[in-house]
């Protein structure tokens, strides 16, 4: 547990530090954020043809309202926390890779829902938008990270038990099952 904590902390510090580098921002973060806005605009236009993406902004020309996807809102920081947790936890490299890929998809899927919901909330009520943006979605994104990590850990434990053959139920009379007495 101590090893996990220090590796987790060290990986987060390293990844957050790398995330702050101007080269990483310019070549990875900014293009990803613009692509995220494009994905959101594509999904929104199924229902609202006046939505477009302009750089990192999801914009509605009909209402003149837009949401700018800034640092902390593009899902990268949440993915860093998840990636650090996965890499710090003892597991096979194959299982880690599966967790990284599926975890990234899960976090970004929830983040897309977040951006789109904020896009509509802001057009409806700015008080609701501010509450959802500053409190509700911050907690939900981190809850998503925690749930994804816990599901990943559990899946790894099941796979390990299956490999070891310990996924079988305990033998009868081992004391692991309740005993019923006749009255």
Give the per-residue pLDDT at 171.
55
**Ordered alpha helix ranges (H), the chain:** 2-20, 22-24, 30-44, 76-88, 93-124, 126-131, 137-164
Please give the Cα distance from 25 to 77 (Å, whole number): 13
For residue range 91-136, list pLDDT tens digits in order. 999 999 999 999 999 999 999 999 999 999 999 999 999 999 999 9
For residue range 129-178, list pLDDT tens digits in order. 999 999 999 999 999 999 999 999 999 888 777 777 765 555 555 554 44
pTM for the model stands at 0.83
For residue range 61-72, list pLDDT tens digits in order. 999 999 999 988
SS3 label, residue 179: coil
């Amino acid at each position: 547990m101590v090893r996990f904590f220090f590796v987790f902390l060290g990986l987060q510090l390293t990844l957050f530090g790398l995330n702050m580098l101007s080269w990483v921002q310019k070549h990875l973060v900014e293009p990803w954020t613009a692509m995220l806005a494009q994905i959101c605009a594509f999904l929104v236009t199924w229902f609202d043809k006046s939505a477009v993406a302009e750089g990192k902004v999801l914009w509605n020309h009909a209402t003149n309202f837009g949401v700018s996807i800034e640092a902390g809102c593009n899902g990268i920081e949440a993915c860093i926390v998840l990636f650090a947790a996965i890499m710090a936890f003892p597991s096979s490299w194959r299982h880690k890779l599966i967790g990284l890929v599926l975890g990234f998809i899960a976090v970004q899927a929830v983040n897309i829902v977040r951006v789109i919901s904020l896009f509509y909330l802001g057009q409806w009520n700015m008080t609701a938008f501010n509450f959802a943006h500053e409190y509700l979605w911050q907690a939900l994104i981190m809850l998503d990270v925690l749930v994804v990590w816990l599901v990943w850990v559990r899946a790894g434990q099941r796979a390990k038990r299956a490999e070891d053959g310990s996924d079988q139920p305990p033998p009868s009379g081992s004391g692991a099952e309740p005993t019923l007495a006749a009255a």
